[in-house]
Amino acid sequence: MTPAPNAEMSGSQTSGSQTLIALVENRPGVLNRVTTLLRRRHFDLLTLSMGRSEDPDRSRLTLTVGGGSAGARRVADHLIKLVEVLHVEPLFDQPAVRRDLALIKIRPDAAELPAVNALCSAFRARIVDVSPGSTIVEITGEQSKIERFVALLTPYGLAELARSECVAMCRGASGFGASDHSVGQTTSQTTSQTTSSTSPNPTS
Amino acid sequence: MANESTRVSDSARAAGQPEGGRELTGAEIVCACLQREGVDVVFGYPGGAILPTYDALCRSGGIHHVLTRHEQGASHMADGYARSSGRVGVAIATSGPGATNLVTGIATAMMDSSPLVCLTGQVSTTVLGSDAFQEADVLGITMPITKHNVMVTRVEDLAEILHEAFAIARSGRPGPVVVDLPKDVQLARTLYDPDRPLPVVPVKTSMTPLDAEIEAARNLIAEARRPVILAGNGINISGASEQLRRLAEDTGIPVSLTLLGKGAFPEDHPLSLGMMGMHGDAAANLAIQAADLIIALGMRFDDRVTGTLSTYAPKSKKIHVDLDRSEIGKNVAVDVGVVGDLKAVLTRLLVGIAATVDEGWTAQIREWKDHSKTLDVVHQPCDGRLWAARVIRDLCELTDGEAVTVTDVGQHQMFEAQYYTHRRPRTLITSGGLGTMGFGLPAALGAKLAQPHEEVWAIVGDGGFQMTLAELATAVQEQIAVKIAIINNGYLGMVRQWQELFYEERYYATPLANPDFCKIAEAYGVPSVRVSQRRDVAPAVAWCRSVNDGPCLVEFVVESHDVVYPMVPAGAALDEMIRRPARASTMAGVSR
């Protein structure tokens, strides 16, 4: 991707990952539309998570993208042009909760289980399945915490790893859509006509 | 998921079936909606999956259908119709190959922000995804090249979706919308209420700039000494050419235009700098590189406009006004970005506008313009041979610069842009962003149908013309009085130019063994004349202008070894132009 060649931009403006939240219409094909846009514009998509929101008609996406704050701004400005994307908000430095859920299947020896248990308590992870020869551990937390935890469990025979990737929510009462950075509408549809000067075709 | 793959407003979904009205088939609803949108002409090609809609068109009356010879012609015609009139152009095709043939025209419209609605037939919903006969994933194929696309899977949603398609195509930054219509949806019946309120496209981002943003722009203009205005297609789309002229005249700031911006500002105005960019006027490019303020209005800093970005306009602050927020800062970082409709923004900006343009700057620009004239081929002695630039300049003078010209893509396109002086918006129709060869003839047919009172010239090269020449039959069948000027140099001229300048004159895959274009015209029933001498240009143009009952064609056989100057080579700064050699005698040197 080619960021605007602005000499005054600092490093964090053009590099590092940023989180965005988007509300989209809950319809088939919307995810395809979003990923098609990200691919064709060569945006640096790191993670994408899609699920339900408080409104059954709307799905909520959390994206993390590279390219720093300028990259996040560009992604937001393009996403909001999609008809089915209702609202986009890059989080930038806003206080927010970011969580990733991981299921980790390991194959510890019986003798190693106490050590695994100790690690789990230290990280507030849970053992959710114990079967002959394998154990599944569940953990939620910020990405860096999960990565440290996975690294510590790897010596016990890491067999499988499944991650939800980041979902995020802003802290505080004001919530999604209140920030200066947000684009789009959150709850009620705006009904004012667009500013285009082109009027409907004159009836022939 | 909440619904079938359709998009209707919440209110429509809550209402379920429309109340009142008559029971119609989906195909009949398509016709009713087109009529309600004021559509007078559609361009298309029938086939199995869209036949119910064709039958309904036949029975409904009121909408003229133009049968093209290829679906690409239909999408280009709808595009030409849209660009010349500002109204939404409509193209219709059947499923599978019909729809895929529209693709080039849709991508062309997308790049140049032209409002289209394309209706494509689709196999029945019952066999979707089964590789049925003439099935193609039209939604998937057109998703990256449309402003929006949608498949209608319930006839109850059809009217709402169609009206929404028109609203999306024409609102904000215009663009193409594809509506995919499965055959069973066209045949299904539902109640249709012709008086239902039309859907409105919600405005998601602010289009009303803050006073502070306008003020910041006004302040930069007041402080500038060497400013230049760069105006693009946004001025034409917004209808803001009057506001642009006032801005230039109230401040004395010169105006340069992008290729698609031509017509936004009269090019014979004393403040006109001409076109900018790769084949722009040298004065415009030199001014941009020396300016201390760039005022960019409804243009997008395309690579053909900027040359190498790292050296672009290095001494200037930049103001960028555009309706599309994603264009601000996309290629060029700006000091003041203003998101809004050009007409509204300029109207506000003009209040209390003032500038103090350096006299030295004005004098410098005059000097650059005068120097360009001395190099200009049309100011050099006529050596009897026919140069493409002279053909275009003669055509401009013979038509008083008042014709609507529609070009194809290549050298003739750049000669048109350099030598045809446009004064009114929407009088040059050309594929700028996608650079689509084959655009010229069909787009000219659409333009003429949209504006029958205008004199419309299709100016095409011998290469591009052959990509869509079958549309001559459409012109004859519809008796569309376009004038076709083929600038025949026997080569893919622009590619040949690159081979001459950058590939050591290896003219590979560019010489064309052409048919006899006049005999082709005759076979289609199109009157024609061939011109190969300068003295025959004026009589041929006069003859063409006298043909008003259908198409006519002039083949101009021009010099093969010709180069569009100036040229900014790829990777060079905007002011590092290759200029036309200074003396007339070197013209022979160019012509090997």
**Per-residue model confidence as pLDDT tens digits over B307-336:** 999 999 999 999 999 999 999 999 999 999
In this prediction, residue A174 carries a pLDDT of: 63
- One of B183, B262, B448, B483 is an active-site residue; which one? B183
User: Per CATH, the architecture of B211-367 is what?
Assistant: 3-Layer(aba) Sandwich (3.40)
3-state SS assignment for residue B527: coil
Amino acid, res. A124: R
Q: What are the angstrom distances between the C-alpha of B526 and each of B115, B529, B573? A: 31, 10, 46
Residue B528 pLDDT level (bands cut at 50, 70, 90):
very high
pLDDT at B589 over 60: no
In this prediction, residue B200 carries a pLDDT of: 87
In this prediction, residue B205 carries a pLDDT of: 81
What CA dihedral angle connects A77, A82, A88 and A90, to 10 degrees? Answer: -40
pLDDT at B584 over 90: no
Tell me which residue of A167, A171, A129, A126 sits closest to A149, measured CA to CA. Answer: A126
Residues A104-115: tens digit of each pLDDT: 999 999 999 999
Percent of chain B residues topping a pLDDT of 70 = 95
Mean pLDDT of B565-584: 87
Mean pLDDT of B55-66: 96
3-state SS assignment for residue A44: coil
Residues of B in contact with A4 (CB under 8 A): 329-333
In this prediction, residue A175 carries a pLDDT of: 64
Q: Answer whether CATH 3.30.70.1150 is correct for domain A97-163.
A: yes
pLDDT at A197 over 70: no
Contact A185 B143 (CB under 8 A): no
Report ipTM (2 d.p.). 0.90
pLDDT at A18 over 50: yes
Residue among B1, B4, B325 whose CB faces A77 most closely:
B325
To the query of whether residue B455 is one of the catalytic residues in this protein, the response is: no
In this prediction, residue A180 carries a pLDDT of: 59
Q: A13-17, A166-170, B499-503: which has the minimum mean pLDDT? A: A13-17
pLDDT at B173 over 60: yes
To the query of whether residue B110 is one of the catalytic residues in this protein, the response is: no
Residues A36-66: tens digit of each pLDDT: 999 999 999 999 999 999 999 999 999 999 9
Question: A11-94+173-184 has which CATH code?
Answer: 3.30.70.260
Residue A191 pLDDT level (bands cut at 50, 70, 90):
very low
What CA dihedral angle connects B85, B90, B96 and B97, to 10 degrees? Answer: -40
Residue B7 pLDDT level (bands cut at 50, 70, 90):
very low
Average model confidence (pLDDT) across chain B: 93
Q: A79-93, A170-184, B375-389: which has the minimum mean pLDDT? A: A170-184
**What is the assigned CATH class of domain B378-561?**
alpha beta
Can you give the residue ranges of every domain in chain B?
10-192, 211-367, 378-561
Residue A147 pLDDT level (bands cut at 50, 70, 90):
very high
Tell me which residue of A34, A28, A43, A47 sits closest to B144, measured CA to CA. Answer: A34
Residues B203-257: tens digit of each pLDDT: 888 888 999 999 999 999 999 999 999 999 999 999 999 999 999 999 999 999 9
Q: Do domains A11-94+173-184 and A97-163 have the same CATH topology?
A: yes
Residue A13 pLDDT level (bands cut at 50, 70, 90):
confident
Hey, which residues 403-442 in chain B have their CB within 8 Å of chain A? none
Question: B10-192 has which CATH code?
Answer: 3.40.50.970
To the query of whether residue B186 is one of the catalytic residues in this protein, the response is: no
Residues B438-460: tens digit of each pLDDT: 999 999 999 999 999 999 999 99
pLDDT at A189 over 50: no
Q: Put the strands of the sheet holding B552-557 in their side by side order.
A: B428-429, B404-407, B456-461, B483-488, B552-557, B528-531
3-state SS assignment for residue A161: strand
> Does residue B54 or residue B5 have the better pLDDT?
B54
Mean pLDDT of A138-162: 97
Residue B421 forms beta bridges with which residues? none
Tell me which residue of B508, B490, B464 sits closest to B558, measured CA to CA. Answer: B490
pLDDT at B13 over 50: no
Tell me which residue of B121, B161, B124, B157 sits closest to B37, measured CA to CA. Answer: B161
Contact B341 A36 (CB under 8 A): no
Residue among B4, B143, B341 whose CB faces A36 most closely:
B143
Using the Cβ of B534 and the Cβ atoms of chain A, whether some distance falls under 8 Å is answered with no
pLDDT at B585 over 60: no
Residue among B326, B341, B343 whose CB faces A74 most closely:
B326
pLDDT at B120 over 80: yes
In this prediction, residue B372 carries a pLDDT of: 86
pLDDT at B591 over 80: no
Residue A196 to residue A193: CA distance in whole angstroms: 8
To the query of whether residue B134 is one of the catalytic residues in this protein, the response is: yes
Residue B20 pLDDT level (bands cut at 50, 70, 90):
low
One-letter-per-residue 3-state SS of B495-510: HHHHHHHHCCCCCCCC
Mean pLDDT of B291-295: 98
Can you give the residue ranges of every domain in chain A?
11-94+173-184, 97-163
The alpha-helical segments, DSSP class H, found in B308-404 are 342-349, 359-375, 388-398
pLDDT at A10 over 60: no
